[in-house]
Amino acid sequence: MLLDTHVAETNEHLYKILVIGELGTGKTSIIKRYVNNFFSQQYRATIGVDFALKVLNWDSNTLIRLQLWDIAGQERFGNMTRVYYKEAVGAFIVFDVTRMETFAAVVKWKNDLDNKVRLTDGSTVPCVLLANKCDMLKEGAVNNLTLMEKFCQDNGFIGWYPTSAKDNINIESAAKCLVSEIVNNRTLLVAEESLNNNIFLDHLGHSPHILKRHKCC
């Protein structure tokens, strides 16, 4: 009896994800919680940009490395953000639920992101909105966030989560949502590229069923 000694090849991917938003919204705390399962009240404000690496065993044959870029809040709309955003395939925008002025800046951050980076097919990068520090809301106040669904739809977010780096609320769920969207986008893009290549090759060979698709009605 022959044993199948074939070992499935591991597919490895590196994805750059931006974490952006106003100063003091908890971006660094979210990254530390997600990457190291650690929280501290003593973080200093990020200056410029920092990044951390998170490794995910996505499935039995897929390994994903997330490069999480922590963009300082005071960098908003600066010339360097275009450099920082380059080649990103996903983003979190973070606001502080206890400071509504940080929510007021969310649309500006989203517009800045959409204007400065795009996926290879020209579409906007998937973005999840994080309503951070939800542990500090008074009981029942979270109900005031029910209008967030419409806000996200109107402004091109794929979803939103009330989060707390301190109490480890929804950090993993938000990341899984974003990574799932990135993986789906990449899978669709590869499939479309393969289809386009096949159509191009058939067209060169004058395949009748391909040429027929190009006829005008």
pLDDT tens, residue by residue, 29-74: 999 999 999 888 766 655 557 889 999 999 888 999 999 999 876 6
Looking up tokens 């979270």 gives 142
pLDDT tens, residue by residue, 87-110: 999 999 999 999 999 999 999 999
Ramachandran region, residue 48 (left: φ > 0; alpha: ψ -120 to 50; beta: rest): left
The mean pLDDT of 15-36, rounded to a whole number, is: 94
